[in-house]
Structure formats: C-alpha cells, structure tokens
C-alpha cells in the first residue's frame, strides 16, 4: 500500500511540476494541453493523439512518472489496437526507467496478449525477459528469450 501511495505522490508532483514549468494551471483557458491531461471526458482521436504525444515528450524529458500517467490516460480511453500497443511499449519503458520492473512486465504482457506474432510480440518478450532477469526470475527470463529465438 505504501508503494502505491508513494507512486501516486510522485505522479501528482510530476504533473504539477510539468504544469508549473509550462506556466499552466488546471483549467487555464490558454492551455488546452493541461485540460486534456486532467480531463477524461473528451475521448476523440485528437485527444488520444495529444495524450500520447505528451507521454512521449515526458519520456524524452526523463519525466517517467508523468509519462506513465499520460500512458494510463491513453489506455483508459480505449484506443485502437495499434495505439494501445505503442502506448504499452512506452509505459513499459517508463516503468523500467523508474525501476518498477513488475509493472513493466505487466505492460509487456499486455502487448503479448494483443499480438499473435510479429515484431511487436518478439520485442515484448525480449523486454519482458530483461525485466524478469532484473527481478531475479531467471527461469522465466530464459523462457521468454527462447520465445524470442524461436520467432527469429
């Protein structure tokens, strides 16, 4: 429970810092982006595209907590499969950067469930193997690496 409370605080602080850094405030009329990060009522394609762009931008700035938050917002909007897959990859990489390896495993497992084969599934198995290894689960890491080898 403490870990998830700490994670929530980190996400909230990152979001506030991002808003302060851009001069935005919640509901600020001149900042469409802030309203979109906070609001979940507008589920248009533009909204999803904007949120994903914000997630990528946060990741590039190494604001991984904000990136995971934006990714969660994208996924909550029930995007198309292609967007869901690329969002799960970004969320997994963000969780990995935060040292949240179990959450990254969940993200990569989501990709594996969405795909039957192909490069996305192969990459997800590879990244997931790395996370299992970091958690000391060498047997599961080996199984995933074998799946990667079999797909090549």
For residue range 51-102, list pLDDT tens digits in order.
999 999 999 999 999 999 999 999 999 999 999 999 999 999 999 999 999 9
Instruction: Give this prediction's pTM.
Output: 0.71
Roughly how many angstroms between the first and final C-alpha of the chain, as a whole number?
41
pLDDT score, position 117: 86
Range of the domain at 114: 99-152
Please check whether residues 143 and 73 belong to one and the same domain.
no
Q: Kindly state whether residue 22 falls inside one of the protein's structural domains.
A: yes
Please check whether residues 15 and 63 belong to one and the same domain.
yes
* Number of domains within the chain: 2
Q: How remote is the C-alpha of 50 from its chain's centroid?
A: 15
Q: Kindly state whether residue 93 falls inside one of the protein's structural domains.
A: no
For residues 25 and 5, give the distance between their C-alpha atoms in angstroms, rounded to a whole number.
24
Please check whether residues 18 and 76 belong to one and the same domain.
yes
Please check whether residues 126 and 73 belong to one and the same domain.
no
Q: Kindly state whether residue 122 falls inside one of the protein's structural domains.
A: yes
Reported as half-sphere exposure (CB side, CA atoms, 13 A), residue 128 has a value of 25
Please check whether residues 48 and 109 belong to one and the same domain.
no
């Amino acid at each position: 429970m403490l870990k998830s409370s700490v994670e929530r605080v980190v996400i909230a602080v990152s979001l506030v810092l991002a808003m302060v850094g851009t001069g935005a405030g919640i509901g600020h009329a001149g900042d469409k982006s802030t309203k979109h990060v906070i609001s979940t009522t507008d589920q248009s394609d533009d909204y999803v595209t904007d949120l994903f762009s914000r997630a990528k931008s946060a990741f590039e700035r190494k604001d991984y907590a904000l990136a995971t938050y934006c990714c969660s917002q994208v996924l909550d909007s029930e995007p198309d499969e292609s967007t869901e897959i690329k969002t799960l990859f970004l969320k997994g990489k963000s969780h990995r950067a935060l040292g949240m390896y179990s959450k990254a495993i969940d993200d990569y497992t989501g990709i594996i469930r969405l795909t039957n084969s192909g490069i996305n599934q192969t990459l997800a198995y590879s990244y997931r193997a790395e996370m299992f290894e970091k958690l000391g689960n060498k047997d599961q890491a080996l199984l995933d690496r074998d799946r990667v080898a079999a797909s090549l």
